Each structure stands twice: as C-alpha cells, then as structure tokens.
C-alpha cells in the first residue's frame, strides 16, 4: 500500500520555487565598495531563470559541470539555483587554491563553463593562460562585475547573456539522487579531493539547519554567510534562507574586520557565520566603534576556537556563539549543547557525525 500524501523529489528547484512563490519580497543584499545592492527574491528568481536559459543556449546539458569562481554575491546566488536547477552540476572553485591546483580541479571535474567575478581576473587569468590538458573540457567563460578583464581570454558578459533571455525557464524534473554540486578540499594532503552533493542531501541539509535544534532560522532572520560560497556551499545558508523567508546578506570581497562590522551594523544581521580568524580580527576592533546588538548568534567553523573567546562579551552580549567542526566533504551538521557561558551567552559545539564529548 502507498500513502495518500504528496510525493515529489527533494531537489534544489523545489527550494527555489518555494522561496519564489512564498517569499518574493525577501531580499538579497550584496556589499559593494560604494554601498550595497538589493534585489528581492522574486526578481533574483527571474534572473536565475534567465541564466539557466542562457547556459542552455550555450549548450550546457544535464550532468555537465558548470564552475563558479566568485565571492559571495547576488550573481553567485543566481548560479546556485540556475545550475543545479537545470540539471547541471555546480562546481564552486576555491579561489584560494594555487594556480596549479585550480587547473587540476577544473580538469578533474571536467568543467565545461566557468562563471567568474571580474574582480578575480588577476587570479584566474594566469590559470587559463597556461592552458594544458586540464583545461581541454572548458568551452566557455562568463564574466560578471567590475574589474579589469583585459588579461582574460575571450569571454561572454554575464549581463548580456541574461538580457538575451526571458524569465520562465522550464525547469526539468530531476531525480533527487542526482548530483547538484561539487567542491574540492584545500589540498593540504596532496592534491585536492572532490565530493559531490546530491539534490536530496542539499534539501535535507537546508531543512536541518533551519530546525530549532540547529540554528533555528526563521522569517525574522537576516543571515550573513561570511564563509565563502565556494566552501561547503556556505554551510547551507544560500538555500536555507529561501526555505524560511530569511533575508540573505552577502559580503562580497569585503570580509575584513572594519567593512564587515559596518555591514553587520548597517544591515542588522541576526546570524553570521565565519571561520575563527575572521572573528578574531573583529575582536580587535574598538568595541565602542561597532554595534552588534542585532546579532543573536554567530557560528565559527573550520577550526577550533576557545570556549570563551577573550573580550567577546564586549560586543557579543546576548548572542549565542556556536562552534561547528565542518568539512567540505560532508553535507550536514550534527550537534548538541555542551554548556552555557553565562550572561545570556550560550556556547554550542557542533560536529560532523557523532555528537562530541
């Protein structure tokens, strides 16, 4: 006997359609040198469909690997939906790898297209100029944003690609076990090693991080993933935000302590996620010069942090500090509270796999 309940594959396109239909007025904010850019979920969804249509016109087929080489920006968020939604596989390239490692992962993943931020042209141009067998699968380069593109090979302008298409892309039905995205380790043990996330794992992870036992995300949150979108899918924030109506704040390349602090204060972020070194730099600021009263939680991951970071109470009073031990090769979080720190500030340690301690 089968149930009478609805049955549909758990795919990225389902997250996309839900956020678009239910939360079209939520916003994505991208930090820029001269201010911020804002776009509503509904408008971003139209652009994601235009990107998918443009990629399809360029010959991208289901299963093809489409890489991103970018900071946390609106355009990267558009790619997060367009690429897996059309059945292709998003490969988020770590921009901090060496040139040799970047060439290796492009070749190993067999990327056919790269969508790149023009501000990263000085990093990407030497990689592509070197050529070699690793790049033989690469057919197209798409570039967006401000920056000197003169050293890049022939490429397509991102905005021109979108302008040639209309919203309303017919998303295909995709098996939930199909590949949605892939990323590689940082190569600390020999060559970088890749892992592939499924649509199902991405969907379930997004649900998991929204739960009260994890991060308790809701429509009242403004999420700031400082952790790069090329690192473990920014710990799930680009998708989780669309499930719960949470606004998404994207720092772009401005992740240094002072611009990050200004961004948090101006946009009233409620939850921020970053590696410990970012938070240590922020702790170096004069507490009187920053206002983090909007934060209810921060998450530090990728490396261990002390249970009671020095001077944290001066600017994080009332916020929860969570520590997550996250690996790019794993698609999920598991954890439980270990202790409270007093003064209304709690610490929770999270780990991949079995609970700690």
Q: How far apart are CA 246 and CA 266, in angstroms?
A: 17
Give the pLDDT of residue 344.
44
Give 309's pLDDT tier (boundaries 50, 70, 90).
low
Give 349's pLDDT tier (boundaries 50, 70, 90).
low
Give the pLDDT of residue 30.
98
Q: How far apart are CA 148 and CA 262, in angstroms?
A: 27
Give the pLDDT of residue 123.
97
Tell me if 174 sits within 8 A of 11, measured CB to CB.
yes
What DSSP element (H or E) covers 202? helix 199-210
What is the CATH code for 12-196? 3.40.50.12780
Nearest to 206 by CA among 255, 179, 233, 240: 240
Tell me if 155 sits within 8 A of 125, measured CB to CB.
no
Over the stretch 87-144, which tens digit does the pLDDT of each residue have? Answer: 999 999 999 999 999 999 999 999 999 999 999 999 999 999 988 888 999 999 999 9
Give 330's pLDDT tier (boundaries 50, 70, 90).
very low
Give 321's pLDDT tier (boundaries 50, 70, 90).
low
Is the pLDDT score of 300 beyond 50?
yes
Q: Cα separations (Å) of 227 from 6, 172, 235?
A: 35, 31, 8
Over the stretch 170-217, which tens digit does the pLDDT of each residue have? Answer: 999 999 999 999 999 887 778 999 999 999 999 999 999 999 888 999
Give the pLDDT of residue 352.
45
Find residue 197's DSSP bridge partners: 181
Give 7's pLDDT tier (boundaries 50, 70, 90).
confident
Give the pLDDT of residue 307.
58
Q: What is the mean pLDDT of the segment spanning 298-315?
A: 64
Q: How far apart are CA 72 and CA 93, in angstroms?
A: 12
Q: How far apart are CA 36 and CA 252, in angstroms?
A: 10
Give the pLDDT of residue 287.
86
Over the stretch 234-278, which tens digit does the pLDDT of each residue have? Answer: 999 999 999 999 999 999 999 999 999 999 999 999 999 998 889
Give the pLDDT of residue 131.
82
Find residue 272's DSSP bridge partners: 224, 298
- DSSP per-residue letters across 242-265: HHHT-EEEE-BT--SHHHHHHHHH
| DSSP label of 356 | P
Is the pLDDT score of 339 beyond 70?
no
| Pairing label, strands 297-301, 271-274 | parallel
Q: How far apart are CA 121 and CA 62, in angstroms?
A: 28
Over the stretch 39-72, which tens digit does the pLDDT of each residue have? Answer: 999 999 999 999 999 999 999 999 999 999 999 9
Residue ranges, comma separated, of all CATH 3.40.50.12780 domains in the chain are 12-196
Q: Helix, strand, or coil here: 57?
A: helix
Give the pLDDT of residue 332.
44
Torsion (CA) 70, 74, 78, 81 in degrees, nearest 10: 90
Tell me if 349 sits within 8 A of 338, measured CB to CB.
yes
pTM here is 0.89
């Amino acid at each position: 006997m089968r149930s009478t309940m609805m049955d549909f594959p758990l795919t990225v396109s389902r997250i996309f359609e839900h956020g678009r239909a239910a939360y079209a007025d939520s916003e994505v904010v991208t930090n820029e040198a001269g201010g911020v850019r804002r776009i509503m979920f509904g408008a971003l969804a139209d652009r994601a469909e235009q990107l998918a249509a443009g990629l399809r016109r360029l010959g991208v087929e289901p299963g093809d690997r489409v890489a991103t080489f970018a900071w946390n920006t609106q355009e990267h968020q558009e790619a997060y939906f367009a690429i897996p939604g059309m059945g292709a596989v998003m490969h988020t390239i770590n921009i901090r790898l060496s040139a040799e490692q970047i060439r290796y992962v492009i070749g190993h993943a067999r990327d056919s297209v790269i969508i790149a931020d023009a501000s990263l042209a000085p990093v990407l141009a030497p990689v592509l100029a070197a050529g070699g067998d690793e790049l033989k699968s690469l057919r197209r380069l798409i570039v967006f944003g401000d920056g000197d593109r003169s050293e890049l090979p022939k490429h397509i302008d991102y905005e021109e690609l979108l302008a040639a298409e209309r919203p309303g892309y017919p998303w295909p039905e995709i098996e939930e076990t199909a590949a949605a995205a892939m990323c590689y380790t940082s190569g600390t043990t020999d060559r970088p090693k890749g892992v592939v996330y499924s649509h199902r794992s991405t969907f379930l992870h997004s649900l998991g991080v929204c739960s009260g036992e994890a991060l308790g995300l809701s429509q009242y949150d403004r999420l700031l993933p400082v952790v790069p979108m090329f690192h473990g899918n920014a710990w799930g924030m680009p998708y989780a935000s669309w499930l719960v109506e949470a606004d998404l704040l994207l720092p772009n390349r401005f992740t240094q302590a002072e611009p990050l602090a200004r961004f948090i204060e101006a946009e009233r972020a409620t939850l921020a996620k970053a590696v410990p070194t970012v938070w240590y730099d922020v702790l170096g600021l004069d507490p009187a010069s920053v206002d983090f009263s909007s934060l209810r939680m921060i998450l530090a991951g990728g490396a261990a942090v002390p249970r009671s970071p020095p001077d944290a109470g001066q600017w994080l009073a009332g916020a929860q500090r969570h520590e997550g031990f996250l690996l790019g090769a794993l698609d999920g979080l598991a954890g439980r509270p270990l202790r409270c720190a007093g003064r209304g500030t709690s610490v929770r340690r999270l780990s991949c796999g079995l609970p700690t301690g």
